[in-house]
Amino acid sequence: MKKALANIGIIVIVIVLMDIYLNKAGIVSLSEYEFNPKTGISYRDMDYKVIFNEGFSIKSYNRKELYSVSDSTNSSFKIALIGDSYVKADQVFNRQHFGQIMKSHLNLNSEVKVINYGYNGSDLKQMYATQKFIVDPTDPDLILYFLSNQDFSYNKFIDPLLAHIDDSGNNLNIINEFEQTKINSYKITSIIKQNSSIVNLLLNSVKHYKEKGLLPALAGKFYSQKSSSKHNQLSEGSKTRKNLMTKTPPTIEQILKTIDESKVIFVSIDQNKLSSEFTSSIRENNIRLIELNPLLDSLNSNQINPYYWKVSRMSGHWNKKAHQEIGIYLASELKKILSTTKPKTR
């Protein structure tokens, strides 16, 4: 009995020491999220986070930059980016992100500050709630929504600990009050995810297995996805996204009517155009629209797959080349828009 307990104690000590080593080495990403009573689940301060997925990156998060109320004495021109994982873009370094490329090509008279509010899985309703509760208090000069057809019509799972729209009634009711039991549960699990590399490694492995299957999960980039008929190598982002509705939902119509068209610009991220129904709704509400599909088509015509990652031999989110070209393209389009509008004076 004593020997068994001693062995268990040794195993626990080894696991703890291994966890400490992995934490210090930064090999495994710890959770970048925490619970904020005002905004729900939000980013926490992190000096760095090492990320291995389709690509490779090291990210940092600054809560003050993301959530602070605007300083009226700050003369910089602020651009907020709102979207899903394509905007968050864990696959690339910050300097390679299309937002930073866009910033370097804008060449405005004042300093340009680009802030990334991308959150995995966000649709238009979630993005709108993010704008109202998180982005608006920072008072940006421009807000860019990055959208696909699905973001207008597809009801994704809503995290109960995120500010979100309750569309059960006829009015836009944004919810930012959260159940205490869910808060308590999240806080307990988040403490572990924020401090244990081994737990995150296990969770990532389970997620990878569910997405790719056993053999691709074990073999990684050494497994040729082309040989697998069960697991398609294309991610959701690079597939053709089918319209799920032929008419803009009432909640989306309400959102579009309340959007500040002087400050908000929609960016269509699909290779296919937004549906004519959604495009008409956008135009009717005088919201400016930038479409990326001409650029993405041009890249494909030149044998450049904007979704393919050579390092991991898989297709997924935009790769580094796509980020570079999209950044330059957005800067060019924004210059045209800004040349016809007078920038806000702080």
Whether 215 is covered by a domain: the verdict is no
Query: Which range (56-65, 97-106, 257-266) has the least confidence?
Result: 56-65
Predicted confidence band at 241 (pLDDT cuts at 50, 70, 90)? Answer: very low
Whether 140 is covered by a domain: the verdict is yes
Whether 144 is covered by a domain: the verdict is yes
Whether 152 is covered by a domain: the verdict is yes
Number of domains in the chain: 1
CA gap 57, 53 in Å, rounded? 9
Whether 307 is covered by a domain: the verdict is yes
On the question of pLDDT at 240 being above 50, the answer is: no
Whether 27 is covered by a domain: the verdict is no
C-alpha distances out from residue 60 to 32, 272, 320, Å = 9, 33, 18
Whether 68 is covered by a domain: the verdict is no
What is the model's pTM?
0.81
In this structure, what are the phi and psi dihedrals at residue 294, rounded to the nearest 5 degrees?
Answer: -60, -40
Q: What is the CATH number of the domain that holds 269?
A: 3.40.50.1110
Domain extent, residue 316, equals 74-189+224-339
What does the DSSP assignment read for 16-76? HHHHHHHHHHT-SPPP-EEEETTTEEEE--EEEEEEESSSEEEEEE-HHHHHPPP-TT---
On the question of pLDDT at 236 being above 60, the answer is: no
* Side chain identity at residue 252, one-letter code: I
CA gap 305, 30 in Å, rounded? 31
| Percent of the chain predicted with pLDDT > 90 | 29
pLDDT in tens, 116-138: 999 888 889 889 989 988 899 88
Place of tokens 């129904």: 277
Q: With contact defined as beta carbons under 8 Å apart, do 66 and 130 qualify?
A: no
Whether 6 is covered by a domain: the verdict is no
